[in-house]
Structures are given as C-alpha cells and as structure tokens.
Structure 1
Amino acid sequence: MDRKRVNACIEEIVKARKADGGLKQVFWVAAGGSNGGFFPAQYFMDRESKSLRSQSFTSNEFFLAPPSSLGKNSLVILCSMRGTAETCDAASLAKERGATTIALYIEESKLTEVCDYSFAYESISYDETEASEMNASYGLFLAMVLLKKLENYEHFDLAIESFSVLDRVYRDAWNYTLPLAKKWAERNKNESVIWVLAGGPAYGAGYIFSICNLEEMQWISSPTVNTCEFVHGPFECTDKNLPMFILISEGRTRPADERVLAFLKKHTDQNIYVLDAKELGLSRIDKRVSEYFNHLLFSPILNNVYLRALAIAKNHDYHYRRYMWQEKY
C-alpha cells in the first residue's frame, strides 16, 4: 500500500475543499464483493467520526437515487476490479454533481478515466496478495487517514502499525484453517442452503462469503443474517438440518455473536460451524483498534481457504458462471 501517496491525496483534497466550506460527507460506492469490501470503512466511520458524515451505497442505487447532499462538499470513493458499468455511471454522476472522486481498481477502465484520483489494489484471490493490499484494506486506510486529517483520530498511529502485522496474522490463520476447512467442505458439499451469521465489524465478510463465494461461485443459496438481528425473527428457522456458518468477531459486538452461538448450541449443535477471530489470531492486534480488522482477516480466509475447499469437495470450479459475463444484464 502506497501510504505516502494516500496521505498526500487526502491532504490535497481536504485543502482544496476548504474554500467551498470543507468536506462534509464521504460516500463509499461499489457493487457486489467490492461493495462488501467497503463495510470495514463504513463501520469505522460510524464508530469514530464525530463530524464527517459517511454513507455506503451499492453503485446502482447511488446512481438511480443519489443523496441530495451529493456535491462539492462530498468525497466519493468507488471500487471496481475492472470497471463495472454501474460503478462507472455512479462515478460520472458524482463528477457531474461537483464531488471529488477516488477510484480503487485492479485494471484501468472508464472508472479510472473519470475519477480525480486512483489507487490500484491487489486481488484477494491471489495467494501472493498481502492482506494490507486488498480493496477492503485500502478503504479502511482511506477512512482512517480522513479522520486523522479532519478530526485527529487518536489511535491512528496504532492502527497503521496494525496494517504492518496483518499479513503475518493472515498467513498463520491460513495454515491453521486449511484442515478445518477441508472437513467442513466434505460435510457440506451436498447442501443446497447454508446460512452465514455475522455481525458488527464482521458483517461485511459474512455478506461477501454469502453472495460471492457460496451463491455466485458455488450456486448454494445463502442468506446472510446479522447476529444482532438473529433473535428477532430468523432464529425461528433453527433446525438440526440447516447448516449454519457463524463468524465470531473480536470487539464490542462479540457478545451478540456469542449469544447466537449459545442459542444454537442449546437447540442444535449438529450442523454449526464456528470461525472465531480470536482463534485466528486477531488478538495479536491491539484491542483499541483490533475490531476494525475483523473483515480484513475473515474475508481472505473465507475466500482463499473455505471457498476453495468447498469447490474441491463439490468438484465445482469456482471460476465458472451460468449468467455472469455470459449474458447482457
């Protein structure tokens, strides 16, 4: 991650917008897994920002029903691997409204042509990609730099140090989960439905695991259920034959995850799979900032260990699609 360039970019934007009354809001805009990758940034902003408004939108919604506050006091940060049309349309709209735009990308496209600034990230799918180089890491880092510049975020230096150790934690977690994922995959290879339960700072990772890994890549129906909402309706579907995959996060919302797990163990422990951030080593990051790194650890483990194990067990190539890239939609 080019931290110096990101810092310089945000400093330049903040300074340039002072004449117009300063930055008042930041919008995170993307589609699919890229949209899910902005959850850590939004979660961080929701908890730490005192004055800067922050909202996360899926690209098409942002384009079709943009917020009325979108304008010269806005920063719009967009992400797309190769320039998804909806995200490019959202970027063009943001520019028309006078907002400053930043693109996160893998391949240059119309998105990088339209946006004022751009930063290349590395795909989560490549084994050599460092955890700090993923799109979600860039999003979180941008959010932290924004609050450092605008509100002097007190744990900024500690958070930046955490990015430096993140990849070591991820690699150790990878090795730890390989045999566990293989057993889980063998048990679930014939399932047509797998629920994913996650909450708080881990919700985005659970959402991506559902819609991108299980549904898009393995054609398994997979609702993502927020652990804070589980006992307000979804728990009525609890059944010994329903596979559930639950993420236990590190941080303030962990008690909500543990409450769900306790309920499931009471009523059925036959088909529950638990992935705990503490067991994966997130406690190696200082507790004052560790909750903001849940997604950055969970998401690559789910994508590169659990998805792959399931694809092998099912003999279902996760690169194959029935509709995506096959039809006009």
Structure 2
Amino acid sequence: MLNFDEQRFLRIQSGAIALQSRLETVIVSSLSAGAENIFFLGTGGAAILMQPAAQLLQRRSRFPTFIDMPAELVLAGSAQLTDKSIVVMPSLSGTTKESVALLSRLKEIGATVITLVGHQETPLGKGGDHVFVNFAEDDTSCESFYLQSLFIALAILNHRDEIENHAEIVSQLSRMPALLLEVKRAYEPKAEAFAKVLAASDYHIITGAGNVWPEAFYYGMCILEEMQWIRTRPVHASDFFHGTLELVEKGVSVILFKGEDAARPLAERVQNFAPGYTDKLTVLDTAEFELPGVSADVRALVSPVLMATVLERISAHLEVLRNHPLTTRRYYKRVAY
C-alpha cells in the first residue's frame, strides 16, 4: 500500500482496543457514584469524531448525553454541566488550547474528566481525572478515537441494561484492527481512482447521514480543507434537500458517504436524486467492504470507522496526485489567531 506502515497501524488500533476494559471500569464507577449525564467536549476534528458515540447514546439510552464546544462553554457555561457530569475530552496532541482552557473550569465545577490523548506529558495528558493514552498521528487517529468513544457509549448502555449482547459486540470489535487492515488492502486498487475525482475539482458537496455524517463533515473540513486547501460544502443528507440541492448542476461534484445504520435511506435519497442533475456523483459505501464474522448490528456501529480507514487510503493517493503533503499548512498552528 502507498506510503503505509501496516505494523504501525495495527499497533495503534490495537492500543485503542486495549483501553476498552479500563474505559468500562471508569464509566461503571462513575455511574455507580451517581453520575447524571455525560458531555463529549472535544475541539475541531476530535470533537467531530465523538459524534457517533454521542448519537448512539441519544438514540438508544435515556441517560442524558450532550455534545458541545469547549470554546463556547468557557464563555457561556451550561446548566447541565455539574459535579455529577462525566466529561470526555479527546485531543490527539493533548494541547488543544480551547480544551485546555475549559479544563480548569471543569475542575472548579467538580465534573469527572476523562481525557483521550496521544501524549501523556501534556496539559490534557496530565489534567484528566482518568487519562487514556494511545499514541497516534493524523492518519491513524480517526479509527482510534471512534473506537474509544464507542467503548464509552457501549459501557453506559450495558450498565443501564439498554443493550443486548454487549460481550459479543466487544468481542467482535476486538478483531477490528486486523479486519480494518484487510479493508485497506482490498480497497487500495480503487483508492487512486477516488483520489482523482477529488483532485479534479476545487469544490465538492460532501454528504451523508446517520453515524457516517460526522465522517463526511470531518473529511471535508479537516482533510480536504485543512490539509489540501480544497473548498467543500459538507451537508447532512437530510438538509441536502433544504437548500444545497439548488447548487447541483452539471459539473458539480457530489460526494456521498453511505453507512449501514438506520439512516441509510436518507443517503439513498441523495443517490437517487443527484444523477439526474450532475454528472459527478461519487459514492463511498461501507456495505461494499468485507468484514468476515462481524454481525450486521456491529457493522452498523463501525460504519464511520470503516469510512475513515478507507478515506485514509484515498488521502494517501490524493496528496501524491496534487503534490500537496497532508502536513502542509499556511495558518493552522503557524500564525497567531
């Protein structure tokens, strides 16, 4: 595979899997101690990666679940954020300034803070009540964060008897590192063709629904815009028909992400509409990826993980096609803002 270290990938994703037992222990302990809600409080891309887990809880549990922006909470606060709150703060660097700024306020409030970081010796690596460290870099962090947050959501559901077959689900998830590697290998011959579609236009409408919508948002904002300087319009597949459809015409690129959860029909609606008005519809469908031994229910849970792992292969080819390394920045962490 192009510019890819298989053993490094396996080591990082296996590291995320290895955190499951301790994550569950911390969650159960917090719930037993009287926790009344959970907040997922990341910044930027890390925040987006928490959305599938938050949505899973909001759809399947009566346990109050919130997702908010640290930068806004520092200024405005939240009546729901109390000493009975569990707060999950992801940050690959462990230094994200908006999240660090909120940390001291969380200490004052008395919330239980769980930090998910890539580096221990950082403000968030040292500042959480419970710190989970799994080294990763930009090209491997999505799967790691998706899996860790999924384990947190599953632990809550299981403790509250709101999910069946928890042990079997966790068992299947434990096989994901090797399965994801095989998905990457199988998709590699197609990755360059998809990358050429992205390289051929300086503007893309990117859409999806359900738990892959956050990955559509993430890929547009954090990869194509930040790392490739390609303009995008991420829009939820439902909202697509409340404004964005008017931008669709011949020559306009529409990129559709299709997952396998209950929201799949919303993506299919876009897929049925777009070809009548543009000659540039491109679909990435997780149902096409083989996961031997994984149930339909678990496939639905890991659709964003699958999407992320394939998009990494596409991005590897895209940076070569455009002669634009994914690490190149003009402003991000380079100038004052």
| Same-fold status (TM-score > 0.5) | yes
- Matched with 1:280 is 289
**Whole-Å separation in 1 of the counterparts to 2:103 and 2:165:** 31
Q: 1:240 to 1:177 in 2, by over 3 A?
A: farther
| Structure 2 counterpart of 1:318, from 320, 326, 332 | 326
Name whichever of 217-226 and 3-12 sits farther off.
Answer: 3-12
**Which residue number corresponds to residue 13 of structure 2?**
none
Distance in 1 (CA, whole Å) between partners of 2:26 and 2:242 is 43
Partner of 1:67: 78
Supply the AA of the counterpart residue of 1:59.
Answer: P
Equivalent-residue separation in structure 2 for 1:91 and 1:291 (angstroms): 33
Find 2:306's aligned residue among 292, 297, 318.
Answer: 297
Deviations 1:93-115 (A, max 9, x none): 22211111000000121112221
Query: Do structure 1's residue 159 and structure 2's residue 172 form an aligned pair?
Result: no
**Pairing 1:201-240 to 2, within 5 Å after superposition:** 201-240=211-250
How far apart, in 1, do the equivalents of 2:142 and 2:321 lie? 26
The residue number in structure 2 matching 1:13 is 30
Match of 2:335 in 1: 327
| Structure-1 separation of matches of 2:165 and 2:60 | 10
Alpha-carbon distance in 2 for matches of 1:300, 1:31: 21
Q: RMSD value over aligned CA atoms? A: 1.9
AA aligned opposite 2:133 = A
The amino acid that maps onto 1:58 is M
- 2:125–2:133 CA contact under 8 A, matched in 1: no
Gaps of 5+ in 1: none
> For residues 197 and 152 of structure 1, what CA distance do their matches in structure 2 show?
30
Instruction: Give 1:243 shift.
Output: 1.2
In the TM superposition, residue 24 of structure 1 has moved relative to its aligned partner by 1.3
Cα displacement string for residues 85-137 of structure 1 (whole angstroms, at most 9, x for unaligned residues): 1111222222211111000000121112221001012426457x895xx0121
State whether residues 196 and 246 of structure 1, in contact with CA within 8 Å, keep that contact through their aligned partners in structure 2.
yes
1:167-212: per-residue Cα shift (whole Å, max 9, x none)?
3332222123222221122243242111211111101111110111
Residues 130 and 266 of structure 1: is their aligned pair in 2 closer, same or farther, counting only changes over 3 Å? closer
Give the partner amino acid of 1:120. Answer: V
Asked whether the 8 Å contact 2:20–2:148 carries over to 1, the reply is: no
The residue type paired with residue 181 of structure 2 is: R
1:177 to 176, 187, 191: 187
What are the within-5 Å matches in structure 2 for residues 30-45 of structure 1? 30-45=42-57
Identity among equivalent positions (%) equals 24
Find runs of 4+ consecutive structure 1 residues off by over 6 angstroms.
none
Q: Deviation per CA, 1:24-53, whole angstroms, max 9, x where unpaired?
A: 110001111101110121121111112x10
Q: How many Å separate the matches in 2 of 1:249 and 1:180?
A: 18
Alpha carbons of 1:142 and 1:187: their partners in 2 closer, same or farther (altered >3 Å)? closer
Unaligned runs of 5+ in 2: 1-17
Given that 1:130 and 1:167 are in contact with CA atoms closer than 8 Å, whether structure 2 keeps it comes out as no
Normalised by the length of structure 2, the TM-score is 0.88
Aligned partners of 1:169 and 1:62: how far apart in 2? Answer: 38
